[in-house]
Structure 1
Amino acid sequence: MDIYSGMLAAYMAALVGMVIVGALVYVVTAFFMSKVFAKAGVQGTWKAWVPVYNFMVFFKLGDLSPWLVLYCFGGAILLSWIGIGFIFSLALFVGGGVAAYRIGMKLGKETGFVAFWLIPPVWLGIVAFGKEPWNSAVAPAQWAGNAFLADRTVWDGVPMQAAATGDVPPHAGGPVVGRPVAPENPAGADA
């Protein structure tokens, strides 16, 4: 066996090892994400297993526009040929951290808990198997009125972001909760 055959064999073994590890990380992450989606009331946890779409739903649960995921993926792919595509990948990671922060708030986690997002499967695992219930009555995000960042997308089976007016969005499959509505004929009013 010559030196080139040995190098090729080592390269192929490393490549196969990376594919196996990558597939294992994907399966574990999708499983954890499906548990988080179930806590949030997402109907159809299969959404956690679909690449890219799962991250769009994750952004939506974190009160960010799910379309930011496509912008970042598109920017990373289109601009990678000139060497700046990594900026969009970094933006996607930071956006994921912001979404993780908001999801953590809805699960009663402390602000510092978002530091676990540096290793997303760890963060997802902790949140997926935590005992905290989903709380959709968290105050609206600071960017809820921003046209670019705010989530205005309506998807069946995925909870919506609280509106900037303070309304609490309807929970998927649950009752509609919002500001109290005045009765049509309050007591003491003339008919």
Structure 2
Amino acid sequence: MDYNDGSGIGALIAFWLLLAPFLFLLAIAAYVIGSWFLMKVFDKAGVQGRWRAWVPVYNSMVAAKLGDLSPWVMLGAILIAGFLGQIPVIGWILSLVGIAAWVLSGWRIGAKLGAPWPLLLLWLIPGVGTLIWLGILAFGSSRWNPNIAPSPWRNSFLKDTTVWQGIPVQPDQAGVPGASAGGYPAAPGYGAPAGYQPPAGYQPPAPPAGYNAPPAPPAGYTPPPAPP
């Protein structure tokens, strides 16, 4: 084809105009399938609110938390890959930052679902590799087990220290303010306020049938002093 000829350029433009709708529909289909698979993974992990898997960028941040990676690190990696990745010559290197963030969190998510790390090599298959990986995690028989070895970056800036309502707190977040031992963020304001008095006439509930009160302390027992 002679691109110096006006008809050749017109044919090329027509070809891309015909191909663009197909590529657009293919991208939409991949996003829907990927979000559906991610929703299933979130269900296994105990994430509350299935809508989280369908919001672009935010779903990657939630996945980062499940993978013991700071969601803000994931957001920064996505922004770097999306914007700085357009720089000529070095842009392709910067675009790898987003992939690296997903590899770290994906490795941890796979480990919590009992998937061996070599499954991440599926990502090398262009277009469908990530979907295959997500599908294996989403529909595999293994259950979510967050009690795995701590992440190698647990003492670095990569560690997840963010607590979000509706997203289970992972063991790697031990010691993070606002996290509770039950696996979810502690509810704000939980517990009776200082100086609270029950309303007049309130009677505490009766103990269940068969309940035995604890034995009385031995004679001469002195309770330990109150902590300062």
Q: For the superposition of Structure 1 and Structure 2, which TM-score range results when normalised by the shorter chain?
A: 0.7 to 0.9
Q: How far did 1:107 drift?
A: 0.9
- Judge conservation of contact 2:42–2:50 (CA < 8 Å) in 1: yes
Question: Could you state the TM-score of these two structures normalised by the residue count of structure 1?
Answer: 0.80
Q: 1:158 aligns with which of 167, 174, 177?
A: 167
- Deviating more after overlay: 111-120 vs 17-26: 111-120
Question: More relative contact order in 1 or in 2 (CA 8 Å, sep 6+)?
Answer: 1
Partner of 1:43: 48
- Judge conservation of contact 2:82–2:95 (CA < 8 Å) in 1: no
Identity across aligned pairs (percent)? 40
- Judge conservation of contact 2:80–2:98 (CA < 8 Å) in 1: no
1:34 aligns with 2:44: no
Q: 1:40 to 1:162 in 2, by over 3 A?
A: same
- How large is the RMSD of aligned CA atoms in angstroms? 2.8
1:14 aligns with 2:24: no
Partner of 1:129: 139
Q: 1:94 aligns with which of 79, 90, 100?
A: 100
Q: 1:78 to 1:28 in 2, by over 3 A?
A: closer
Q: Decide which structure has greater helix share.
A: 1
Q: Which residues of structure 1 form unaligned runs of 5+?
A: 174-186
Q: How far did 1:26 drift?
A: 0.6
Residues 108-187 of structure 1 aligned to structure 2 (within 5 Å): 108-118=114-124, 119-146=129-156, 148-163=157-172, 170-172=182-184
Q: Which residues of structure 2 form unaligned runs of 5+?
A: 1-6, 186-216, 224-228
Q: After TM superposition, where is structure 1 displaced by more than 4 Å over at least 4 residues in a row?
A: 164-169, 187-190
- Alignment partners' CA distance in 2, 1:86 and 1:50: 26
In the alignment, residue 159 of structure 1 is paired with which amino acid?
P
- Alignment partners' CA distance in 2, 1:88 and 1:156: 32
SS in structure 1 of the partner of residue 16 of structure 2: helix
In the alignment, residue 108 of structure 2 is paired with which amino acid?
R
Q: How far did 1:123 drift?
A: 0.5
Task: Tell me which structure has the larger Cα radius of gyration.
Answer: 2
Q: How far did 1:166 drift?
A: 9.6
Q: How far did 1:115 drift?
A: 2.1
* Post-superposition CA distance 1:21-41 (Å, at most 9, x none): 111111110110000001000
How many pairs align? 177
1:55 aligns with 2:65: no
Question: Could you state the TM-score of these two structures normalised by the residue count of structure 2?
Answer: 0.68
- Judge conservation of contact 1:64–1:150 (CA < 8 Å) in 2: yes
